[in-house]
A and B are shown apart, each in its own frame.
Chain A
Amino acid sequence: MKIDRRSFLAFVLGGAAGTALSPLPWKLTDDISIWTQNWPWTPVPPKGETTYVDSTCTLCPGGCGIRVRRVEDRVVKIEGRNDHPVNRGGICPLGAAGAQLLYSPWRVRQPLKKMDGRFVPVSWEQAIGEIAGVLRELREAGTPEAVAWIADTDRGTTAELCRRFLTVYGSPNFIRTPCAQDAWETALYLTQGQRATAGFDLERATFLLSLGSGLLEGWGTPPFVFRARGALKDNNGRFVQAEARLSKTAAKADQWLPILPGSEGTLAFGLIHVLLKEGRERKPFVAAHTAGLEELKRQALQEAFSPEAVAQATGLEAKAVVELARAFAAAERPLAVCGRGAGRVPGGLQETLAVHFLNALVGSVNVEGGVIAVPEPEYIRWPEPEMDAVASKGMQTPRVDGAGSERYPHARYLLNRLPEALLQGDRPAVRVLFVSGGNPFYSLAGGERTEKALARIPLIVSFSPFLDETAAAAHYILPAPTHLERWEDVPGAAGYPKPVVGLARPVVPPRFATMPTADVVLRLARRLGGPIRAAFPWESHEACLRQTLGPAWETLRRKGFAVEEGFKPQPFETASRKFEFANADLKRLAAFRPLPAPGDPGAFKLTLVPFDTLRLTAALGAPPFLVKALESEILLKNDIRVEIHPQTARDLGLADGADARITTPQGSARVKVYLTEGIRPGLVGMARGLGRGAHDRYLAGKGVSANRLLALVEDPSSGLEAGWGIRARLERA
């Protein structure tokens, strides 16, 4: 017997046959397929008991009710509460991605202090002690007004505690971050005498005219606005979007009017012009409930607002302006809204007034389907604090941002004016800045100048739970728990037409050594002693919340929210008890004038217009789910794309996807080009929310921030931030 090649082949064949007759190949195939379908490195929620906790989302001013699903102690899903009046089961992408913020790798885990440019962990005791020391020195030097506080809301117990702290300390410089409500609140106060926020009864309007508002892109409370958009369709209503770009909102509108950017106010006055000229105002309402119509006529019937002039200014046809005015006036319940994009920039006061006048002329103020003045919540009734001489003197100094001054008597907060104020003098006017929300280092326009101004402040304390741009620039980070780990009363929902208060509760125990901002305030007050300590008789924020809410606490704790279902708007509180188109205060405002984009049109042939998308956030960094869902028209790998019209591209010699350099008077950045006919020629569209300097690796280093290319533009009538674009140049790179 020989062992040769054939024997070997026979052995192999026998082996093959035997293998086929054994379970090995079949079992192996099966196991490998199971393995590939359950990669061991893919995170899977732990098995365990599923529970639901109802809370309120505080990631934006919306205040939606959320239902958080947990498996054991792990948050696995966030849904909208079906029984919540504001969102009724709806949820926006940011709210749904909220668990990623809780478990984010860029959370700040303990108090940090910057030493030699690096953050080192310190104890709460040490951090609060050191900051209290600086505060004590400033007070002893008689300059308590050199302390400022930036917060993203001025409502609720936390914000009120911060403001109260500044008051008894002696500083008037509590500043709320800007948003479109700033202009609306001032407009309501000047025309109706009401200290209120603007609610919009979008669900019951039958003709919705949006002057650049991104109703489907984060404006107001997104789930409420989405539902209202559905209701409008069900009611056979009409939805007209006037905006320079084919935004998602414009694409979903019944009619898109591609007006020139910055001409929204002119269009509103143009519509008023047609209404008044043709006598189409709702005469019974105007006669019974308004005053000063003659003055409005004098203002709006000028030649500058004739259909022809408005056509020229807006880029529409005169006929379209007239037809829009007629359709608006003829609708059963017309409603006009403004606040560009997601409404993060207040815009000009006169522009908002024009839109509000338009609503008043068709009787859509404080009625069903109209603009509703929603009174500010009044459940916080703490006794007036006793103030010492230092505090009284400090409180009498003018605000650092100029709000409430002779020039801007009606403005309450003007964060946009802070950078210039800080650049004055040898020493910056603010020596200590607390930042609880708003992330001004990122979200303020003005590029390097703004950054340089803020960086002049010798002591910045950030309360951010995340390492955002402001936290990175701060000297101390005193991390607050995230929205799923703390108690918070949430008064009001942006744009919702009824008073509502929600309660956010800890859904899971705090993951790290964080402390609610309100508790830090209480501790600082205790450290400073005297009248400051006496103004804060509460043991903790939670105790303060219980005591402040009184009997409402139990209801809120059980139900999660309280809404005034049968709410009726209160009567106008002006001197005439009517809606005033004109009065002494209005007369004193700088006249309406469309604000041009800053920059020399000769050197900068194009105009950069920023836009908002639901997939990117402003102050808060977008969680990975949102960044992952960004379309390639906005972000391609790590490059931001700017929208330009094919005609503009031809003139510049740029092809789709080409690398380009955009330059504005504020700065310059590399971008990629995206050609679309959904933007007017001559414009460059850029998404807001990218170009992050801090944050996690899913967001940082992607694209550029539009805010760094934009300039701060001050509205002459109110001082509010009113920038909508800037002149720009685009070149091949």
Chain B
Amino acid sequence: MEEPKSSAPSSRSEPGQGGQGDGAGGAIILFFILGLAASLLVGWVAFPALLYSEKRQPVDFNHALHNEIVDHGCASCHFFRADGGFSGAPKLAQCIECHREANSDDPEEIRFVEEYVKPGREVPWLVYARQPDCVFFSHAAHVRLGGIDCAVCHGPMGESTSLRPYQENRITGYSRDIWGWNIAGIKRNSWDRMKMDDCAECHAQARVPGGSVQTQKDGCFVCHK
């Protein structure tokens, strides 16, 4: 009977032998690194790119320009209603107070007047800071009672000359600003993220009276009503 020529069975029958073993180890490390690199690339680059869809605001609003004209800073347009409710993004009626006609030859203003003011159509602003529906947030408690500046949570929005793109989370449907633009969740400024931990951090620092009798911390139902 003839011996089988193939060496594969013999290498298998002698595991851990000299050079053969070293070569296999190198391959393993290489493939490990390949897998690691690929997944890191997916996790850090591809995933965030896929997770968010980017939208433009309907009108490119210049906060800085308006801020120079108005008398009461942010509150000129983002005001508290008589009952303490916060108005949020302005309604068309407010804009019309000044923009019944275009006040300049700025093409964006002219487009705004043509597309929204004349037909009386509300501007579908995309709200960067909108919290999920399961969160109750009162501006009155924070701004009026707590004396917190708008910029603490919203950043220097009032100084922007153009509206940055709005990124919408494809799974939740909420704005990227809640998680923060840094996908790792690292923040440098107080306004970089708006997650529950960020609320809790500030509440802990400010020693906000707790809602829970048991833990002396904020009870769940302070925000999740």
Contact B28 A7 (CB under 8 A): yes
Residue of A nearest to B29 (CB): A10
- The residue from A10, A31, A35 contacting B31, defined by CB atoms under 8 A apart: A10
A18-26, A262-270, A453-461, A628-636 - interface stretch: A18-26
In the bound assembly, the distance between CA atoms of A50 and B185 in angstroms comes to 35
- The residue from A3, A7, A21, A23 contacting B183, defined by CB atoms under 8 A apart: A23
Binary flags per residue of A9-20, CB closer than 8 Å to B gives 1, else 0: 011111111110
Q: What size tier do the contact residues of chain A reach?
A: 35 or more
Question: Counting CB contacts under 8 A, is A235 at the interface?
Answer: no
Known contacts: A1-B27, A3-B27. The answer to whether A15 contacts B87 by CB under 8 A is no
Contact A17 B36 (CB under 8 A): yes
| A267 CB to nearest chain B CB (Å) | 50
Residue of A nearest to B24 (CB): A6
- The residue from A2, A15, A31 contacting B27, defined by CB atoms under 8 A apart: A2
Which chain B residues lie closer than 8 Å to A23 at the CB level? 43-44, 47-48, 183-185
In the bound assembly, the distance between CA atoms of A670 and B132 in angstroms comes to 47
Known contacts: A2-B27, A40-B173. The answer to whether A18 contacts B39 by CB under 8 A is yes
In the bound assembly, the distance between CA atoms of A568 and B43 in angstroms comes to 80
Contact A15 B36 (CB under 8 A): yes
* Central interface residue in B37, B39, B184, B185, by most chain A CB within 10 Å: B39
In the bound assembly, the distance between CA atoms of A4 and B21 in angstroms comes to 13
| A696 CB to nearest chain B CB (Å) | 26
| A79 CB to nearest chain B CB (Å) | 15
Contact A7 B134 (CB under 8 A): no
Which chain A residues lie closer than 8 Å to B47 at the CB level? 22-24, 27
Contact A50 B85 (CB under 8 A): yes
Question: Counting CB contacts under 8 A, is B169 at the interface?
Answer: yes
Which chain B residues lie closer than 8 Å to A4 at the CB level? 24, 27
In the bound assembly, the distance between CA atoms of A94 and B107 in angstroms comes to 55
Question: Counting CB contacts under 8 A, is A44 at the interface?
Answer: yes
In the bound assembly, the distance between CA atoms of A10 and B30 in angstroms comes to 8
Known contacts: A17-B36, A37-B132, A50-B83. The answer to whether A8 contacts B43 by CB under 8 A is no
In the bound assembly, the distance between CA atoms of A81 and B171 in angstroms comes to 42
| A685 CB to nearest chain B CB (Å) | 39
Contact A15 B39 (CB under 8 A): yes
Question: Counting CB contacts under 8 A, is B208 at the interface?
Answer: no
Which chain B residues lie closer than 8 Å to A38 at the CB level? 132-134, 172-173
In the bound assembly, the distance between CA atoms of A708 and B132 in angstroms comes to 49
Which chain A residues lie closer than 8 Å to B27 at the CB level? 1-4, 6-7, 10
User: Can you spell out 11 A-B residue pairs with CB atoms less than 8 angstroms apart?
Assistant: A7-B31, A14-B38, A18-B43, A22-B43, A22-B44, A23-B48, A24-B42, A24-B43, A27-B183, A35-B173, A47-B88
Of residues 50 to 99 in B, which have CB atoms within 8 Å of A's CB atoms? 51, 81, 83, 85, 87-88
Question: Counting CB contacts under 8 A, is B32 at the interface?
Answer: yes
In the bound assembly, the distance between CA atoms of A47 and B33 in angstroms comes to 50
Which chain A residues lie closer than 8 Å to B87 at the CB level? 49
Which chain B residues lie closer than 8 Å to A37 at the CB level? 132, 134
Contact B172 A11 (CB under 8 A): no
Question: Counting CB contacts under 8 A, is B179 at the interface?
Answer: yes
Question: Counting CB contacts under 8 A, is A575 at the interface?
Answer: no
In the bound assembly, the distance between CA atoms of A31 and B173 in angstroms comes to 9
Chain B residues in the interface with A (C-beta under 8 A): 23-24, 26-40, 42-44, 47-48, 51, 81, 83, 85, 87-88, 132-134, 169, 171-174, 179, 183-185
| B19 CB to nearest chain A CB (Å) | 12
Q: Is the interface of B mostly helix, strand, loop or mixed?
A: helix
Known contacts: A11-B31, A38-B172. The answer to whether A18 contacts B132 by CB under 8 A is no
In the bound assembly, the distance between CA atoms of A56 and B51 in angstroms comes to 50
Known contacts: A1-B27, A6-B27, A35-B171. The answer to whether A11 contacts B81 by CB under 8 A is no
| A662 CB to nearest chain B CB (Å) | 46
Question: Counting CB contacts under 8 A, is A30 at the interface?
Answer: yes
Which chain A residues lie closer than 8 Å to B81 at the CB level? 49
In the bound assembly, the distance between CA atoms of A467 and B87 in angstroms comes to 39
In the bound assembly, the distance between CA atoms of A19 and B46 in angstroms comes to 12
* Other 18 A-B pairs with CB < 8 A, given A11-B34, A12-B35, A27-B47: A3-B27, A11-B32, A11-B35, A13-B32, A15-B36, A18-B35, A21-B36, A21-B40, A22-B39, A22-B47, A23-B183, A31-B169, A35-B173, A37-B132, A38-B132, A38-B173, A40-B173, A49-B81
Which chain A residues lie closer than 8 Å to B132 at the CB level? 34, 37-38
Complex A-B, nearest 6 residue pairs according to Cβ-Cβ distance, in ascending order: A22-B43, A14-B35, A18-B39, A14-B32, A15-B35, A14-B36
Residue of B nearest to A72 (CB): B91
Contact A2 B43 (CB under 8 A): no
Of residues 29 to 54 in A, which have CB atoms within 8 Å of B's CB atoms? 30-32, 34-35, 37-38, 40, 44, 47, 49-50
Which chain B residues lie closer than 8 Å to A34 at the CB level? 132, 134, 171-172, 174
Residue of B nearest to A18 (CB): B39
Contact A14 B39 (CB under 8 A): yes
Known contacts: A32-B171, A38-B133, A50-B83. The answer to whether A2 contacts B185 by CB under 8 A is no
Of residues 648 to 687 in A, which have CB atoms within 8 Å of B's CB atoms? none
Contact A27 B31 (CB under 8 A): no
Binary flags per residue of A50-86, CB closer than 8 Å to B gives 1, else 0: 1000000000000000000000000000000000000
Contact A18 B40 (CB under 8 A): yes
| A34 CB to nearest chain B CB (Å) | 4
* Central interface residue in B35, B40, B48, by most chain A CB within 10 Å: B35
| A537 CB to nearest chain B CB (Å) | 39
| B59 CB to nearest chain A CB (Å) | 19
Residue of B nearest to A50 (CB): B85
Contact A8 B31 (CB under 8 A): yes
Residue of A nearest to B35 (CB): A14
Contact B40 A30 (CB under 8 A): no
In the bound assembly, the distance between CA atoms of A64 and B70 in angstroms comes to 47
In the bound assembly, the distance between CA atoms of A47 and B86 in angstroms comes to 10
Contact B24 A2 (CB under 8 A): yes
Which chain A residues lie closer than 8 Å to B26 at the CB level? 1
Residue of A nearest to B134 (CB): A37
Binary flags per residue of A300-331, CB closer than 8 Å to B gives 1, else 0: 00000000000000000000000000000000
* Central interface residue in B40, B48, B83, by most chain A CB within 10 Å: B40
Contact B32 A22 (CB under 8 A): no
Which chain A residues lie closer than 8 Å to B24 at the CB level? 2, 4, 6
Which chain A residues lie closer than 8 Å to B33 at the CB level? 14
